[in-house]
Amino acid sequence: MEEIPRTNGSPPLHSIYENDPDLRDLVMQFVDELDGHVDLIRSACLAEDFSTLRRISHNLKGAAGGYGFDPIGDCAARLEYEMLEDEMDLSALSERIEDLVSTCRAAVRPSDS
């Protein structure tokens, strides 16, 4: 599979909980950890490690919504679903991976105000 470019043309993605004082720190931590998830996705993609891609997408699908990032969860769910097929369409899989990476890169931390 091709390496996914690190550029991101997506508009900033804000958590619906970014102004919730009880969740703000957790949202910040989630966003801070997204780069690590993206790196794992990229590595798994290059290695064609579908098991790791499936695990990461499943985990992001569940966690993203809890932190107010439904678009990330939706992209992760589409990727996970794509990998459930008996015969994966590698072109569609690459597109889903690119969508998830781009959406993760669009997530922004709540402002420090």
Under 8 Å CB-to-CB from 67, ≥6 apart: which residues?
A: 15, 17, 23, 26, 27, 30
The per-residue pLDDT for 9 is 64
Rg from Cα positions in the chain: 14
The series of mean pLDDT values per 10 residues for the chain, 113 residues long, is 47 94 94 95 92 94 96 95 81 90 94 65
Amino acid type, 30 = F
- Report the alpha-carbon distance of residue 104 to residue 31 in Å, rounded: 8
The per-residue pLDDT for 113 is 54
Residue (of 104, 108, 32) closest to 75 by Cα position = 104
The per-residue pLDDT for 4 is 38
Q: What is the pTM of this model?
A: 0.86
Domains of the chain plus CATH, in order, are: 24-106 (1.20.120.160)
The per-residue pLDDT for 83 is 86
The per-residue pLDDT for 112 is 62
